Structure 1
Amino acid sequence: MADGTVNGTWSVVITGEQWALLHAHLFPGDGDEHGAVLRCGIARSARGTRLLVRDVVIAEDGVHYVEGERGYRRLTAPFVAENIDICAQEHLAYIAVHNHRGADVVDFSDTDMASHVRGYPALLDINAGVPVGALVFAFNAAAADIWTSDGERHTAAVRVVGRPQRILTAAPAPTGEADLTYDRQARIFGDRGQALLAGSKVAVVGLGGIGSLIGEYLARLGVGELLYIDPDRLDPTNLPRVVGARRSDVLPLLQDDARPKWMQALGARLATPKVRIAARVAHQASPTVRVTSIARSVVEADVAALLTDCDQIFLAADSALARRLVNSVTHQYLIPNTQVGSKVTVVDGDVADIFSVSRMSTPGSGCLQCNGLIPAWKLTEEATSARQRRRQRYVDDENVHAPSVITLNAVAASRAVDDWLMSLGGLTEPWASADHWVSYHPLTDEVIELEPTKSPGCPHCGPSRFALGDGRALLSKPS
C-alpha cells in the first residue's frame, strides 16, 4: 500500500476531512493554481516513513500565494517563514503544496524543481534536519519531492485515510491480474483492489469469539500481512465460538472437572494460545499470508509499538486499557480502527438485551474516548491488581463468564470487515459517513446507527496527540 510495500518507501497520510479541505482549495473550479502548507508528524518503521498531516494551512490567494518572480505562483516569504518556524519548534516536517492542471498524471515543472534546489537546503537547516519538501497535485494524482538531512530526495504517494480510502500517485500504477484464487471477489474490487488487500498489514487485537472470525475473514480475503495480539489461552468454554479451535487445544484430560484443581490449573497454563490457533487458521486459508502472533497484552509498550505501522486495526478485546491504547494509536498515527463486540445482558435471570456492534473510527473523528466508551472507573479497575479488586469488590466473581453466542459474534465481525472492505475498495458512496457505528438488536430486530461526537480537547483525537506519530509516547505500560 501507499505507506510501505517495500522497505524505505515514503508516503504522506492525510485524513478524509483534511483532504476534502485541501482538495476544495486547490480545485475550486477556476482552473488556476493555488497553494498551501502541510505540517506533519513523522512515523518510521521497517515498512517505510510516513508523514502524518497534522495541520493543513491554506495559503490565501493574493496574500500568501502570489505572482512568482521566476514561476507562475509562489508562497510568500513571510508565510513560509511562519510555517517553517512552527515546524522547527514542534519537530514537524514541512511540505509546500500547489496544483497543476490535469487529472490522472502530474509532475513538478523544471521551474518547480529549480526552486526546490534554491530553497530547501536552507529550510532543512532551519528545521534542524527534519524533512522538508513539496507536493504537487492534479485532480486525481500527486507527486512528491521530499528532502532529508542525509542529502537524499524521496518520492512519495499520498494516502487518504477517509471513507472511502484513496491512494494518489504521480501516475496510475500498473496492476497485474489477481490470483485466480480470488477471481470471484476481484470481480467486485478489481485487480487493483485485490493488490491493495495483498499489500495491507492489518492487526486484530483480541482473538476470541469475534477476533477469530475476523482473522479468518482477512486471511481468506487475501490480506498480505496479519498481526494477532492476545495474551489468553483457549479454555473449554471458548470451544463453541473460537474459529479453528480443537478439543485437544484445551488439554481435556487435564482440565476435566473431575481432575484435581492443581491439574486443571496446569492444563489451563499449557492450553494453546488463541493467537496460535488464529495463525493456524490463517495459514490454512492462505498459503502466502504472513502472520505475526503475539501472545501478550497489547498495552505493553513493545507490543503496542507493533500497531503503529498497520493499515487497519480491528479491536475485538473488551478491555478498557486496550481500547484506550488502540484509540490513541488511531489518532496519533492516522490508522483507522474498528471496535467490535457483542453482548447479552441478563437481569434477574431474564435476557434484557442482546446486541452486536461495529464501530469504525477514522483518524481525527469523534473517538471512543469522546463518546464515553473508555470509562475511567474501568481503567482504574483494570490497572488494579487481582488481589486489590477482590478486596475492594470491583467484581462479584471473576470466574463467571458472560453469555456469548457465535452467531452474534459473526454479525459484528462481518459488518466490521465489510465496512473496511468497502472503504479500502473505494466502493462507498460520497455521502456515506466517515465513521460508521452500527448495532443490531435481535430481540427487537432493530438496527441503530450512531454518528459519534467529537470533543475538541480530547486527549486522544485532539491536538495534544493528533498526527504526532513517533513524536509522542504511546499510552502503554512499560515492557
Structure 2
Amino acid sequence: MISEQERNRYKRQIMLFGESGQEQLKTATIFIAGAGGLGSPIAIYLAVAGVGRIVLVDKDSVELTNLNRQILHFNRDIGERKTVSASVKLREINPDISIEAIDITIDETNVLDLIGDADGIVDALDNFPTRYLLNKAAYIKEIPFFHGGIRGLCGQATTILPGKTACLACTFPHPPPVEVFPVVGVTPGFIGMVQATEVIKYLTGTGELLLNRLLHWDGERSTVDEIRLEKNPRCHVCGKGDVMGAVDQQDHGWIQ
C-alpha cells in the first residue's frame, strides 16, 4: 500500500494511473545498465515516478568529457565512480525508493545474477556486445528489454517482449563498428525519456508500447519516424538460426 506521503508526492500521476498503478511502480524493480548519457535521464525519471527499486550498474568514473550529456554527474564528481555519484543524486531526488548502485562490468558470468528478480532491463549503454548479452538475458528471464541508442542529434528506441516481438538480435544481427561517436546532451535526454516512458507504461499497463516498432528521432530535422520490425524465426537468440534481420545497415545507418 502507498503511504499518505507517497499519495501526496505522486498525486498528479495517480490521477492518470490510479493508486493501483502507483502501487505497481512501488513494488517494481528495474535494472538499468549504464549511468551515463541515457542512464541519467532514465534513472531520474523512474526515480521521480516512484519505481520502488532501481538497480543501476556501471563500471566507469566521471570524466570532464561526460558532463555535456550525463546529467546525474556534476563538475564536483569528476574522478568519482559513476555509481556513487548517481546514487547520491537519486536518493536526494526521492528518498522513498531504493537505489542499488553496483560498480562492476557486466559480462556473461554475472549478468543473470545482477539482473536477479528485476521486472525489466533498460539498455542505457553505448556498446552492442553488452547489449546483445542483455538481450539474451531478457529472453532467458522472460522480462522486457527497453532498448535505446544515440548518435549526434539522432536516436532510436524500441521495447522488446521476449517471445512476442523481434529481439535486438533480430533487428540488428551485426554490430556497428566500435568508435567514438559524436553526441549532444539533448539527444540522450530525448531518447532516455522515451525509454523511461516505456518502462512506466509497461509497469502500469498504460498506453501502447513500442512493440515491433523502432522509433527514430532525427534531431536535425525535428522529426520522428517509425520503422516496423518483424520477429526473425531463424534468429540465433529467439529463433533457430542467424540470418539478416529487419533493419538494414545501409538503409537506416547505425546508432550506438
The answer, yes or no, to whether TM exceeds 0.5 is: yes
Aligned-partner Cα distance in 2 for 1:300–1:368:
17
1:329 and 2:128 matched? no
CA contact (8 A) 1:324 1:374 kept: no
Q: For each residue in 1:414-473, what CA deviation from the matched residue of structure 2 results, as whole angstroms up to 9, or x when unmatched?
A: 1111122223222225xx663442011122232111222222122212369xxxxxxxxx
CA contact (8 A) 1:361 1:436 kept: no
Counterpart residue number, 1:426: 205
Counterpart residue number, 2:170: 370
1:461 and 2:241 matched? no
1:211 and 2:39 matched? yes
Counterpart residue number, 2:246: none
Deviation at 1:318, TM superposition (A): 1.8
SS of 1:301's partner is coil
SS of 1:276's partner is helix
1:415 and 2:243 matched? no
SS of 1:277's partner is helix
CA contact (8 A) 1:316 1:339 kept: yes
Percent identity (aligned): 27
Which of 152, 160, 170 is the aligned partner of 1:361? 160
1:191 and 2:19 matched? yes
Structure 1 residues 238 and 185, CA gap change in structure 2 (3 angstroms): same
1:229 and 2:57 matched? yes
Higher share in strand: 1
Deviation at 1:310, TM superposition (A): 0.9
Which of 218, 240, 244 is the aligned partner of 2:72? 244
CA contact (8 A) 2:156 2:214 kept: yes
Aligned-partner Cα distance in 2 for 1:190–1:358:
27
SS of 1:209's partner is coil
Bigger Cα Rg: 1
1:298 and 2:106 matched? yes
Unaligned runs of 5+ residues in structure 2 are 242-256
Which of 171, 181, 205 is the aligned partner of 1:402? 181
Q: For each residue in 1:231-251, what CA deviation from the matched residue of structure 2 results, as whole angstroms up to 9, or x when unmatched?
A: 11111111222223222221x
Counterpart residue identity of residue 27, structure 2: G
Backbone CA RMSD of aligned residues: 2.3
Aligned-partner Cα distance in 2 for 1:196–1:356:
29
1:200 and 2:8 matched? no
Counterpart residue identity of residue 370, structure 1: C
**Corresponding residue pairs, total:** 239
Counterpart residue number, 2:225: 448
Q: After superposition, where does 1:298-317 map in structure 2 within 5 Å?
A: 298-317=106-125
CA contact (8 A) 1:219 1:285 kept: yes
CA contact (8 A) 2:57 2:102 kept: yes
Aligned-partner Cα distance in 2 for 1:304–1:234:
26
The list of structure 1 runs, each at least 4 consecutive aligned residues, that deviate by more than 4 angstroms after superposition, is: 174-178
Counterpart residue number, 2:128: 320
Structure 1 residues 445 and 231, CA gap change in structure 2 (3 angstroms): same
Deviation at 1:335, TM superposition (A): 0.9
Structure 1 residues 239 and 442, CA gap change in structure 2 (3 angstroms): closer
CA contact (8 A) 1:362 1:435 kept: no
Q: After superposition, where does 1:133-144 map in structure 2 within 5 Å?
A: none
Larger relative contact order (C-alpha < 8 A, sep ≥ 6)? Answer: 2
CA contact (8 A) 1:312 1:337 kept: yes
TM-score scaled by length of structure 1: 0.47
Aligned-partner Cα distance in 2 for 1:418–1:440:
15
SS of 2:95's partner is coil
Counterpart residue number, 1:284: 92
Aligned-partner Cα distance in 2 for 1:244–1:428:
28
Aligned-partner Cα distance in 1 for 2:69–2:131:
22
Structure 1 residues 214 and 229, CA gap change in structure 2 (3 angstroms): same
Deviation at 1:298, TM superposition (A): 1.3
Deviation at 1:216, TM superposition (A): 0.9
1:341 and 2:149 matched? yes
Which of 265, 273, 278 is the aligned partner of 2:81? 273
Counterpart residue identity of residue 31, structure 2: A
Structure 1 residues 422 and 371, CA gap change in structure 2 (3 angstroms): same
Counterpart residue number, 1:105: none
Aligned-partner Cα distance in 2 for 1:234–1:224:
26
Counterpart residue identity of residue 98, structure 2: R
CA contact (8 A) 1:320 1:374 kept: no
Counterpart residue identity of residue 440, structure 1: W
Aligned-partner Cα distance in 1 for 2:28–2:233:
31
CA contact (8 A) 1:341 1:358 kept: yes
Aligned-partner Cα distance in 2 for 1:183–1:463:
48
SS of 1:437's partner is strand
